[in-house]
A and B are shown apart, each in its own frame.
Chain A
């Protein structure tokens, strides 16, 4: 149980385009989902916390207009990187928290490359 999927697993796009990444909890309902970014050989940096039916809470330094998060249902959250630039190239990972616990289950990640 507690499986989280992410789609796509890998995406290459041109500079200036927008990219949408989906995060789904497959066998449980996730009231809270988290979006992280990880640069090579670095730790996971929390970008935002996404609560179902409400606006996402962004960490300091993360542009909310550039990284649009929508948590439309208890099993789906999306991250849209708008007007992507090469410096946005990174590994984006989502996680979902099982209600009432501290445990987060991570998706397999999406590797974004902006040319």
Chain B
């Protein structure tokens, strides 16, 4: 069935360091979405990528969609304590969204 693989599962970084999470699919994706879930909170939609090779930026966050539309990445520059949480990629289909397992980001002060 459909699935998106996400790595790493956990990441500890010093505050100020960069962070990247990767998402891979065995099939070509139409679109890919990214969500952030703070500890104890619910997922919050960050962005949707649609085009092959697309790169979008939101302040310190850079989202990339692979040329083959089978992989995507989220890169955070100079992490801050507010970046703590779990980042999920997701494959939105016509009838539902399939979530990756997420990458849990811990920031060390």
A binds B: yes
A residues with a Cβ closer than 8 A to B are 32, 34, 41-44, 46, 49, 57, 93, 95, 102-109
A46 touches B97 (CB 8 A): yes
Proximity bits, B86-107, A CB within 8 Å = 1, else 0: 0010001001111111101000
Main secondary structure of the interface of B (DSSP, over half): strand
Chain B nearest Cβ from A98, distance in angstroms: 11
Chain B contacts with A in 62-109, Cβ cutoff 8 A: 88, 92, 95-102, 104
Closest Cβ neighbor of A42 among chain B residues: B101
A43 touches B100 (CB 8 A): yes
State which of A93, A103, A109 has its C-beta within 8 Å of the C-beta of B48.
A103
B99 touches A102 (CB 8 A): no
B41 touches A108 (CB 8 A): yes
Query: A93-B42, A93-B43, A108-B42 are known contacts. Are A102 and B33 too (CB-CB below 8 A)?
Result: yes
